[in-house]
Chain A
């Protein structure tokens, strides 16, 4: 299964594709309303069910803890982000190179595409201990596991993107373009949506992988390690505010990449 296609904008269904999509009030208000409803239900449930704070603290408690700890949390989030992005960089360079090489051999490319999507979700939890064997319980192990975790994903997207065919291939053939010219002028820009979709998937994922890895050991000043510490000490409020921080980090990464994706779509339109 090809299993990878550039993600369409969420919610782009039968309605218009590009342009003023973000101006639709329903698409702005509906998620906010639903989110408020969710928080409300959470608060209400804690009160009605008389749930002890240790089990699940209330959103407003988490929020005030989050605000109190914001400078500490943002430092930790910055470290987590840096390690995640380093891992993305290493993994992307490796997998793009690999995809570029494999793409030169069409039979191999076709066959590997099938398997790349199968291993797309490597059980990172099972592999992290091995990374620590190689790099010790250090930041480098975190970077390494992020790279390992994202490599199959980027590889699958890149290979699918590179292997896309269009009539323009015949044009380049009729122009007797060599491999590199074709790769640079056609293959690479044509796969831009796939590469951006890969980033959209991989960047938020890298945050999660980094948090997991840090949870099991890595730099002390990171979100994952902090969550682990506070949860071991039964500081549930601190733990939950760090979880919120990690969600926010993931979401803002997603937003940034989604924005970049829009810009790239404008620079490199691939629609006819």
Chain B
């Protein structure tokens, strides 16, 4: 799975300076009223680029089809793919609805996995950051754990946990856990020593330090880690749905569409687009949530 393990090895990669609030220049310079206008403007601009990207991809699709003279079986027309959503499945169901239902199944598992992984990840991150010994011990193993090809392990997991939702959530949890853990640890470790010294002079308890200094300071980083995790959660869930025995979910639809590709090429494109859409939507949802909770969009975040 996973373009994912991406963040994996360097979840660190996704880490942003916790100074982001100050570093976000636009917001800092502007006064309160115009700040909101600025944010709305940025969101609109960002949305415009998004629409542009989708439009650009659509144009590229058709241009590629024409330029390389690809037949309808290799690359159907975009409109044929969209039109396919309106067709009926062998059970007389509307294909669009059928796809949506399966997408929701996947989305639910992914969201639950993300939640579990995030909670476990934050706790682990705090432990890693707090303890030199554990931190030194766990981090390399985190890197190692991310090199495990989940797709190969998932059949074994089906043997352990069965084909029900627990397998999918377990895989999604496994994949989301690492980016969040590492982001949390990095975020806490990035708290300037001066701030800790200050709290120390107040005789603040470790709990106070954690909840009032360390976690807030780490929040922007955790938000970025969560975004990465969200993308992985979708991929992980789909992988969990692939082994035989699953009956619903995008993974199942991908496999069957692949099998029947020669008969109905549009179906495979539909489900691939749906998977991309779900990944993007979950990431954007997390970003939106993060920017509301933290009160600002990390630099370049917009939305």
A–B in direct contact per CB < 8 Å: yes
- Contact surface of A with B, Cβ cutoff 8 Å: 1-8, 10-11, 13-14, 24, 26-27, 30-31, 33-35, 38, 54-56, 110-115, 117-127, 129-130, 132-134, 149-150, 152-153, 157, 197, 200-202, 204-205, 207-209, 211-212, 215, 224, 227-228, 231, 236, 239, 242-243, 246-247, 249-251, 254
New contact pairs (20) apart from A121-B279, A132-B258, CB-CB < 8 Å: A1-B300, A3-B14, A4-B14, A24-B136, A30-B137, A110-B300, A114-B301, A118-B287, A121-B6, A124-B3, A129-B254, A152-B3, A201-B7, A201-B9, A205-B9, A208-B5, A212-B149, A215-B152, A247-B148, A251-B144
CA distance A246 to B5 in the complex (A): 13
Main secondary structure of the interface of A (DSSP, over half): helix
A73 to chain B, nearest CB (A): 13
Q: Is the CB of A208 within 8 A of B2?
A: yes
Do A246 and B149 form a contact, CB below 8 Å, given A31-B140, A124-B3? yes
CA distance A209 to B239 in the complex (A): 12
Which of A1, A35, A153, A205 has the most C-beta atoms of chain B within 10 angstroms of its own C-beta? A1
Across the interface, name the chain A residue whose C-beta is closest to B290.
A1
**Contact of B119 with A by CB under 8 A:** no
B159 to chain A, nearest CB (A): 6
Do A123 and B234 form a contact, CB below 8 Å, given A30-B137, A34-B141, A246-B152? yes
Q: Is the CB of A205 within 8 A of B144?
A: no
Which residues of chain B have C-beta atoms less than 8 A from A152's C-beta? 3
Across the interface, name the chain A residue whose C-beta is closest to B138.
A34
CA distance A33 to B50 in the complex (A): 48
Which residues of chain B have C-beta atoms less than 8 A from A10's C-beta? 12, 139-140, 143
- Contact surface of B with A, Cβ cutoff 8 Å: 1-10, 12-17, 45-46, 49-50, 53, 73-74, 129, 132-141, 143-144, 146-149, 151-153, 155-156, 159-160, 185-186, 189-190, 193, 223-224, 227-228, 231-232, 234-235, 238-239, 242, 250-251, 254, 257-258, 261, 265, 268-269, 271-272, 275-276, 278-280, 283-284, 287, 297-303
Which residues of chain A have C-beta atoms less than 8 A from B271's C-beta? 126
Across the interface, name the chain A residue whose C-beta is closest to B182.
A10
Q: Is the CB of B133 within 8 A of A126?
A: no
A40 to chain B, nearest CB (A): 14
B124 to chain A, nearest CB (A): 13
Q: Is the CB of B189 within 8 A of A13?
A: yes
Which of A112, A212, A215 has the most C-beta atoms of chain B within 10 angstroms of its own C-beta? A212
Closest 7 pairs between A and B when the two form their complex, measured CB to CB = A250-B147, A121-B231, A13-B189, A30-B137, A126-B275, A7-B12, A111-B49
Which residues of chain A have C-beta atoms less than 8 A from B3's C-beta? 120-124, 149-150, 152-153, 205, 209
Do A208 and B14 form a contact, CB below 8 Å, given A121-B235, A124-B3, A150-B3? no
Q: Is the CB of A54 within 8 A of B2?
A: no
CA distance A207 to B2 in the complex (A): 11
Q: Is the CB of B272 within 8 A of A130?
A: yes
Do A204 and B147 form a contact, CB below 8 Å, given A14-B189, A125-B235, A126-B250? yes
Do A133 and B261 form a contact, CB below 8 Å, given A54-B159, A208-B2? yes
Q: Could you show 12 A-B contacts with beta carbons less than 8 Å apart?
A: A1-B300, A2-B300, A26-B132, A31-B136, A31-B138, A110-B300, A111-B46, A114-B301, A114-B303, A121-B232, A130-B269, A239-B152
Main secondary structure of the interface of B (DSSP, over half): helix
Which of B17, B149, B250 has the most C-beta atoms of chain A within 10 angstroms of its own C-beta? B149
Across the interface, name the chain B residue whose C-beta is closest to A201.
B10
CA distance A246 to B160 in the complex (A): 22
Which residues of chain B have C-beta atoms less than 8 A from A121's C-beta? 2-4, 6-7, 228, 231-232, 234-235, 279, 283
Across the interface, name the chain B residue whose C-beta is closest to A118.
B283
A102 to chain B, nearest CB (A): 12
B150 to chain A, nearest CB (A): 8
Do A124 and B1 form a contact, CB below 8 Å, given A5-B15, A204-B147? yes
Q: Is the CB of A1 within 8 A of B254?
A: no
Residue from B5, B185, B223, B280 within 8 A of A118 (CB atoms): B280
B23 to chain A, nearest CB (A): 10
Q: Is the CB of A120 within 8 A of B228?
A: yes
CA distance A27 to B137 in the complex (A): 7
CA distance A235 to B230 in the complex (A): 34
Across the interface, name the chain B residue whose C-beta is closest to A239.
B152
Which residues of chain A have C-beta atoms less than 8 A from B303's C-beta? 114
Which residues of chain B have C-beta atoms less than 8 A from A27's C-beta? 136
Residue from A13, A112, A211 within 8 A of B152 (CB atoms): A211
CA distance A56 to B161 in the complex (A): 12
CA distance A30 to B133 in the complex (A): 6
Which residues of chain A have C-beta atoms less than 8 A from B74's C-beta? 133-134
Which residues of chain B have C-beta atoms less than 8 A from A239's C-beta? 152, 156
